[in-house]
Chains A and B, each alone.
Chain A
Amino acid sequence: AQSVTQLGSHVSVSEGALVLLRCNYSSSVPPYLFWYVQYPNQGLQLLLKYTSAATLVKGINGFEAEFKKSETSFHLTKPSAHMSDAAEYFCAVSSGNTPLVFGKGTRLSVIA
């Protein structure tokens, strides 16, 4: 079985500060890993995904994530937070032929 743990249900950063959202996964097979963003009352938007290619994955809106097998982590970062980054972020894992399993989400607040 696969699972995802997102540390911190709520993260608050100042505008212009580094964003770090943590995600650890558990998988018995090589995982596919995803980060999605959800704005209020909207669906999911894919930020980036890891599918066994480069371990450092660059996504949209300046986000990136690094797959670290030894740490079973896939943390999401952005060098400089913008007000428009305030949203709910979900990490998800799949084995490639199984449905995505989502973490509980982390709400990012950006303070002016």
Chain B
Amino acid sequence: GAVVSQHPSWVICKSGTSVKIECRSLDFQATTMFWYRQFPKQSLMLMATSNEGSKATYEQGVEKDKFLINHASLTLSTLTVTSAHPEDSSFYICSASRDMTGNTIYFGEGSWLTVV
């Protein structure tokens, strides 16, 4: 089956620094990738939708200047948390869609971010 890989799985960074999380579709071309955020014991909240070669569409309340999303190729999307603060500590999960039919969406393993 299709595989979506996230890297790193775990990252600790100092407050005020930036950290980049990668999401790769390993065996298919992902026209669309989604970034979700999950706080402990809570559900997944969609942060943004990114389409290859265009600007990401952010959900209401998500700061686009803080959470920079780049989808430069059909197999890679990156989420950069800029000037990270402890409240940004969370589990970030990406998903990739081959063709947006609704049944070809695959999730990455997630990335734990801890800001100290």
Binding site for B on A (CB under 8 A): 32, 36, 41-46, 49, 51, 90, 94-97, 99-105
Question: Dominant SS at the A interface?
Answer: loop
Q: Which residues of B contact A42 (CB under 8 A)?
A: 109-110
| Of B36, B102, B109, the contact of A95 (CB 8 Å cutoff) | B102
User: Within 8 Å CB of B78, what residues of A?
Assistant: none
Q: Is B93 touching A43 in the complex (CB atoms < 8 A)?
A: yes
Query: Would B102 and A43 count as touching, CB distance under 8 A?
Result: no
B100 touches A96 (CB 8 A): yes
Q: Please determine whether A90 and B44 come into contact, CB atoms closer than 8 angstroms.
A: yes
Q: A43-B108, A43-B110, A105-B43 are in contact. Are A99 and B34 (CB under 8 A)?
A: yes
Q: A41-B112, A42-B110, A43-B93 are in contact. Are A100 and B103 (CB under 8 A)?
A: no
A43 to B19, CA, bound (A): 20
Contacts of A46 in B (CB 8 A): 107
Contact B103 A51 (CB under 8 A): yes
Interchain CB contact under 8 A, B103 and A32:
yes
Closest 9 CB pairs of A and B: A96-B102, A32-B102, A43-B109, A43-B110, A51-B103, A44-B107, A104-B43, A102-B44, A94-B102
A47 to B11, CA, bound (A): 28
Among A36, A41, A49, A95, find the residue whose CB has the most chain B CB atoms closer than 10 A. A41
Instruction: Determine if B105 is an interface residue (Cβ-Cβ < 8 Å).
Output: yes
Between-chain CB contacts (< 8 Å), 30 pairs: A32-B102, A32-B103, A42-B110, A43-B6, A43-B107, A44-B44, A44-B93, A44-B107, A45-B107, A46-B107, A49-B103, A51-B102, A90-B43, A90-B44, A94-B102, A94-B105, A95-B102, A97-B100, A97-B101, A97-B102, A99-B34, A99-B49, A102-B36, A102-B43, A102-B44, A102-B45, A104-B42, A104-B43, A105-B42, A105-B43
